[in-house]
Amino acid sequence: MPASWKYFALRTFNMLLVLVIVVFILSASFSTMAEQELETAVRQQVQGEMEGGQFDNPEQYREERTRELRERYNLHLPRWQRVFFSARNVLTLDLGDAQSRMTAGDGTSDVTSIIMDYLPRTILLFTTAAFIYTGLGIAVGLKAAQRAGSKLDKFLSLFGMTASSLPMWWVGMLVILIFVYSLGWFPRPSPRFPRIEVLGLWGYLREILIKMALPLATIVFVLFGGRAWVTRNIVTGVLQDDYIMAARAKGVPERKVIYGHTLKTAAPPVVTSAIMSLLMSVGGAMISEIVFAWPGMGYLLRLAIFTYSDVPVILGISFITAFLYIFGYYLADLIYGFLDPRVEVGAGDRM
């Protein structure tokens, strides 16, 4: 088997193994809370049935009905079996029904459907922001590396360290205070999402852009400087290599030195750090969704925890978030191996 296929197979196996382990940990962590909710629901249902009817032996009916409902929800099984069945259901995206009044757009209480209503909005916001701050960061970082010691380089270092150290939710609150309440340029944040069947295509796109403007600008502001600074440091190190100096000494055009030799060598760490930056920003940006009332996964998590205390929805969101992290690391490994063949050769030799 070629080294590249061995590398791909090894990374895929590692990803699946980690995902299974994480799902079992999540299931074990949430099973106690979920079972307590189910036990309460069983008692309430039995009590409600008994209040509405006449029974010759109420206690016998209570015991039999309680046992029947507990068997329906697998509460009679040993704990390890309950955790196993819960993990199996999560891995197959059978997340069950919400235990509260939370519903999807079609009115169903299926947890998977509820999450799929909110997940595309989070992907829309993060993907758009990632393209913007990654593209700008790489372009500005390259310029700063070419002009090491210049005013641009000094400003980028100061701005990158300052902006990346600011909490995203705090910057979001300042943005709302200035552009919504002080200047009045944007409407107050609302979880209501535009509907294309009501506004039409152009009206829908306009409302989306207005609603995305502030959270998008906040994410780009906080992450752009750090991305540019990291790119600048990586490229600066590559520019000090002997083969780059030799190419310049031979008279190779500067554009070819930067975009042909330097960027090719710097690509693996630059791409990997960009993916890691996106993954690390998910947590902070999900909190920003709450600040801007952006109806994505972060906003849904807030509803599930503080408003409804809905354990199945919380478990589903935790699984999706964990999967995004694990898949992101997996994708970074594959891209690194593709950009740097030495990684694949090393994997093949060890195997």
Sketch the domain layout of the chain as residue ranges.
7-91, 124-307
Residue in 117, 155, 115, 125 with CA at minimum distance from that of residue 278: 125
From residue 77, give the alpha-carbon distance in Å to each of 34, 81, 196, 276: 14, 6, 48, 41
Phi, psi of 293 (to 5 degrees): 55, 35
Query: What is the structure's pLDDT at 280?
Result: 59
Q: Does domain 124-307 have CATH number 3.90.1150.10?
A: no
What phi and psi, each to the nearest 5 degrees, are found at residue 92?
-95, 10
The pLDDT value recorded for residue 38 is 72
pTM to 2 decimal places: 0.73
Q: What pLDDT is stored for residue 341 in this prediction?
A: 57
Per-residue pLDDT of the chain (351 residues; tens, 9 = 90+): 456 777 778 888 888 898 888 888 888 877 777 677 777 777 777 677 667 666 667 677 677 777 777 777 666 767 777 788 788 888 888 777 777 777 777 777 788 888 888 888 888 888 888 888 888 888 888 788 777 778 887 888 888 888 878 888 888 889 999 998 988 888 888 888 877 777 778 888 888 888 888 888 888 888 888 778 877 877 777 777 777 777 777 777 767 777 666 766 776 777 776 676 666 555 556 678 888 888 888 888 888 888 777 778 888 888 888 888 888 778 777 776 666 655 554 444 444
Total length of the chain: 351
pLDDT of residue 287: 76
CA angle 131, 137, 138 (to 5 degrees): 95
At residue 97, the 3 state secondary structure works out as strand
Q: How far is CA 84 from CA 18, 99, 147, 260, 266, in A?
A: 16, 20, 58, 52, 44
CB 173 within 8 A of CB 291: yes
Q: Which residues does 321 contact at the CB level (< 8 Å), separation at least 6?
A: 282, 286, 297
* pLDDT reported for residue 178: 92
